[in-house]
Amino acid sequence: MALREIRIVGDEILRKKSREVKEVTPRIKELISDMFETLYKEEGVGLAAPQVGVLRRVVVIDAGVEEDVKKPMVFINPVIIEMDGEQTGEEGCLSVPDKSCEVRRAEHVVVEAFDEDMNPFSIDAHGLIARCLQHEIDHLEGILYIDRVKEQEAEEKGE
């Protein structure tokens, strides 16, 4: 395992669309383990591969921080197939240092993805995990939460 360097806003790679993973190669396994190591070191809740400079559709989340229990979750090629409800809460991002903003997100999502053995699974998520999934899946499309904040501010002004 190794720590990876977090790409910071302004880096073009964060604006690119990530490619699907067809097969979990040793390289992808290493990427996933490095992403967890980096996530824990930085005390984040979630991390998407483009944040460490790799344009592949891989997301890791561990929302166990609050209870001091690690609950690592890996999502390969995640897709949101359902979303509803609304929640507003504070978000930050390891790629946007020293900043946080209120962001409006769906309260509930259903996400389909593949695990580390490429077995398909789905997750029905509410609250923090739902928020985190939306944030990380945005990264795979080159979208940052600060873009969502801008969009929502423009909406409120009726633009």
Q: Which residues bind Ni ion (CB under 5 A)?
A: 93
Half-sphere exposure for 78 (CA within 13 Å, toward CB): 30
Active-site pick, 136, 141, 151, 156 = 136
89, 81, 125: which is closest to 105 by C-alpha? 89
136 is catalytic: yes
Nearer to Ni ion (CB atom), residue 52 or residue 93: 93
Residue 135 CB, nearest approach to Ni ion (Å): 5
Asked if 32 and 40 count as a contact pair (C-beta separation under 8 A), the reply is: no
Nearer to Ni ion (CB atom), residue 113 or residue 133: 133
Nearer to Ni ion (CB atom), residue 150 or residue 158: 150
Alpha-carbon gap, residue 68 to 122, rounded angstroms:
25
Residue 159 CB, nearest approach to Ni ion (Å): 25
Mapped onto helix, strand or coil, the DSSP state of residue 139 is helix
Q: Which residues are catalytic?
A: 136
